[in-house]
Every structure is written in C-alpha cells, then in structure tokens.
Amino acid sequence: MQLKLTKRTVDGILAIGCSGRIVFGEESSLLREEVKKAIADGYKRIVLNLGEVNYIDSGGLGTLVALHTTAHNAGATIKLANLTKRVGDLLQVTKLLTVFEVHNSEYEALEAFRQAA
C-alpha cells in the first residue's frame, strides 16, 4: 500500500498522519518533501503519527533519520507517535529509539510540545 499523509495543525504544532508503507522510493520522497516544506513554512514542532504504518524498510528508516537531522539543524523538533509493534521493534533493534522522542499517542506527543512551550 502506498504511503498516504494527512496533515492538521493543533496549537501551531503540525501533526502528520502516515498510513501505508515508508519505503525507499516515492514513499520516502513524499514524506521527506512534506516535512521539509513544513519546516520551510515555519513549523518548528512536528509530530509524525506512525500508527497506520504497516511496513518500513532501511530507506524509510534513513528518511526518518535524515528528517530528524534536517529539523534539528533548522531549530525544529520531530516527535514520533503511536508506533505499531513492528515499527517500534525495528526502532529498538536499530537503536533509533535513543534518537527520537517517541510517544504512545499523537495526543501525548502534542501535550509534550505544549508543556515544553
């Protein structure tokens, strides 16, 4: 299933819902372009809701890491939310859970941004 993105803004925080697969190619490019555009548009707080991501490959992981770096260099922050067991296990095995701030739900990630503000 191709990657579908839904965007909404809550209190100045951009929440991007991802559904489908994050794999090398069009899917990774789509996610990369959306997040880079959001940062260019001035969003400093971004939540990626991965609750409906059923598969992620090494290219997808590389994209998440690249977006984390891009955001950090622009003074923005990306939090991950609602990981499926499969994606969570993959981030744990690759030690990427130490790189990203991960929350159990989109609501918790939004609240974490609100409390930090």
Q: Using an 8 Å Cβ cutoff, are 103 and 112 in contact?
A: yes
Q: Cβ contacts of residue 40 below 8 Å, gap of 6+?
A: none
The domain in which residue 61 lies consists of 4-116
pTM: 0.95
Percent of the chain at pLDDT above 70? 99
Residue 23 CB neighbours (<10 A) = 17
User: What CATH number is given to the structural domain containing 51?
Assistant: 3.30.750.24
What is the number of structural domains in the chain? 1
pLDDT for residue 1 is more than 70 = no
Q: Characterize the bridge pairing of strands 77-81 and 101-103.
A: parallel
Instruction: Categorize the per-residue pLDDT at 34 as very low, low, confident or very high, splitting at 50, 70 and 90.
Output: very high
Mean pLDDT of 38-67: 96
The predicted-structure confidence for 55-107, as pLDDT tens digits, reads as follows 999 999 999 999 999 999 999 999 999 999 999 999 999 999 999 999 999 99
